[in-house]
Amino acid sequence: MASQTLRDIQDKMSKTTEGLKMGLATIRTGRATPAIIEHVKIDYAGILMPIHQLAGISVVEARLLVIQPWDKGSIRSIEKAILASDLGLTPISDGNVIRLNIPLLSEERRQELIKSVRRRVEERKIAIRNLRREALEELKVSEKNKEISEDQHKQSLTQLQKLTDTFIASVEQIGREKEAELRQV
């Protein structure tokens, strides 16, 4: 019973960490990467769709993304969605493809993004701690119902704390790496 609880919590903590990685990938760092715009939703025929389902996105140069829509009629919708997003990018279209120049970040914008990264990291750390609390409750109930012994309960608590510490350290490392990437000029 205790081992199943620990496996479930480990899986949830792993998903929390992966979610952070994916979320931080969307933060613009001055270098072109398709992840910057993949979260942008396009209104296509009355349905909101992610941009990567409507177009191919490629990195042509270090600071240039090219979006090649599969349906040329969706170019205007893609441009509008990019302009409406909070990315601060201006699409340039020639009727067939959309080019996005990724400008260098100003120091002020860089600091805002670093604060955003820190906030997201802290949110994930809180989520991991909440998962730990959830597991503690499950283990306490298991011990109370005599499903696990007192020794198993204590061992499980130790394992749970190690697991929590490992995932919090992982989240902090991901945050430090993204901050370092943002500080590069």
The pTM for the full model equals: 0.73
- Chain-wide mean pLDDT for the chain? 88
Q: Which residue has the tokens 């829509």?
A: 69
* Tokens of residue 137, six digits: 């409750």
In this prediction, residues 65-78 reach a mean pLDDT of: 88
* Closest among 179, 175, 184, 156 to 10, alpha carbons compared: 156
pLDDT given at position 185: 61
User: Residues with Cβ < 8 Å from 13, sequence gap 6 or more?
Assistant: 128, 131, 163, 164, 167
* Tokens of residue 164, six digits: 């929590």
Q: How far is it, in rounded angstroms, from Cα 174 to Cα 21?
A: 7
What CATH architecture applies to the domain 2-25+106-183?
Orthogonal Bundle (1.10)
Give the single-character DSSP code of 36: G
pLDDT given at position 1: 66
Its CATH class, for the domain covering 34-101, is alpha beta
Residue 161 clears pLDDT 80, i.e. is over it: yes
pLDDT digits 0-9 by tens, 18-69: 999 988 887 767 677 888 888 888 888 888 888 888 889 888 888 888 999 9
In this prediction, residues 146-165 reach a mean pLDDT of: 91
pLDDT given at position 8: 92
* Intervals of CATH 1.10.132.20 along the chain: 2-25+106-183
In this prediction, residues 130-139 reach a mean pLDDT of: 93
* Intervals of CATH 3.30.1360.40 along the chain: 34-101
pLDDT digits 0-9 by tens, 77-110: 888 888 888 777 888 888 889 998 887 778 888 8
> In sequence order, what DSSP letters do the residues of 42-76 get, joined into one string?
EEETTEEEEGGGTEEEEEEETTEEEEEESSGGGHH
Point out which residues pair with 42 in neighbouring strands: 49
pLDDT given at position 45: 82
Q: How far is it, in rounded angstroms, from Cα 49 to Cα 42?
A: 5
